[in-house]
Amino acid sequence: MVATRPVPQKRDDIPGWFFGLDRAAFSHLLSAQTAAGITGDVLELGSYLGRSAVLLGDHLQPGERLTVCDLFDSEAGDAENAAEMTMSYRRTLTRSAFESNYLAFHSELPEIVQAPTSVLADGRIPADSCRFVHVDASHLYEHVSGDILVARSALAEDGLVALDDYRSEHTPGVSAAVWEAVFTGGLRPVLLTPMKFYGTWGDAAAARRTLLARDWRAEGYTVDEDTIAGHHVLRLNYQVKTPAQIQRSTPRRLALDLLPPVATRATRRVLRTLRERRAVPPTPGA
């Protein structure tokens, strides 16, 4: 039995694994597409309780459609995927919880496909129809490699794919599928964050220029550039303040000294930043 949760008041109230850095990257890339006159649908594979889907919905322009595909409370198609579902999502996830979270921020639901993402290989997402695809469903190699093929077919020229958990210790299958797509499937890296790999089958250099048009460093991020077997890629992360730097900040020190509840919130913010930087997922529903 899944416990019901109160309706979220703000986007952060929705449990999930979509954090500030990727929220900023998604928003920047989607807004830049819109500003450049690029239109297209948006697709998400793996939505859980809607944390990332709500942001994708924020960026929809008139005539564009968001489709989400998730098992929600349906059975998985194989034992390994079923084990993954039991371990991470079953206790908290229902389709109706996703729907009420989504409707707390949008007047209409997205198109919902409640099924294994493998059903999308039947071509129900028209080829070249999407400008952005977020792949965040099963983290097993066989599933992710299929999801990447779905993304490739769905994406229009220069469309972007974000692939979750491409480097976490507990998701080696995602790493294998992502780098296989780079080395044998024509996927071009654009951006790496601690949680997500961003790529395109189109013009990766143009996507990197779009990212570099923003002064991320001034906003408290680090920006680095790497070359991987001839592929240029950006890396974005948080500038993390050491406890000594935080102590040296007078307002922060005063807050720590004088206002215990504020100090508690500040400490929690630092811990959250460190957790995101290390890409350690919180416990579901935390």
Give the binding site for ligand SAM (CB under 6 A): 16-18, 46-48, 51-52, 69-71, 76, 81, 85, 89, 93, 116-117, 136-138, 143
Q: How many CB atoms lie under 10 A from the CB of residue 128?
A: 12
Distance linking the first and last C-alpha atoms of the chain: 18
DSSP string over 33-75 = HHHTT---EEEEE--TTSHHHHHHHHTPPTT--EEEEE-TTSP
Looking at the Cβ atoms of 103 and 266, the one nearer to ligand SAM is 103
- Which two three-digit tokens encode residue 286? 């935390």
Looking at the Cβ atoms of 57 and 116, the one nearer to ligand SAM is 116
Is-contact 3 95, C-beta < 8 A? no
Looking at the Cβ atoms of 232 and 275, the one nearer to ligand SAM is 275
The residue whose Cβ lies closest to ligand SAM is: 16
Q: Environment class of residue 148 by beta-carbon count within 10 Å: exposed (0-12), middle (13-18) or buried (19+)?
A: buried
What minimum distance in Å lies between the beta carbon of 134 and ligand SAM? 7
Looking at the Cβ atoms of 163 and 204, the one nearer to ligand SAM is 163
What minimum distance in Å lies between the beta carbon of 102 and ligand SAM? 12
What minimum distance in Å lies between the beta carbon of 6 and ligand SAM? 18
Looking at the Cβ atoms of 101 and 200, the one nearer to ligand SAM is 101
Residue with tokens 């954090």: 19
Q: Environment class of residue 146 by beta-carbon count within 10 Å: exposed (0-12), middle (13-18) or buried (19+)?
A: buried
What minimum distance in Å lies between the beta carbon of 266 and ligand SAM? 25
Looking at the Cβ atoms of 162 and 204, the one nearer to ligand SAM is 162
What minimum distance in Å lies between the beta carbon of 72 and ligand SAM? 6
What minimum distance in Å lies between the beta carbon of 81 and ligand SAM? 5
What minimum distance in Å lies between the beta carbon of 232 and ligand SAM? 27
> 244-264 burial by CB neighbour count: b if 16+ within 10 A, else e?
eeeeeeeebeebbeeeeeebe
Residue with tokens 């999502």: 89
Looking at the Cβ atoms of 49 and 190, the one nearer to ligand SAM is 49
Return phi, psi of residue 255, to 5°: -60, -45
Residue with tokens 């129809």: 129
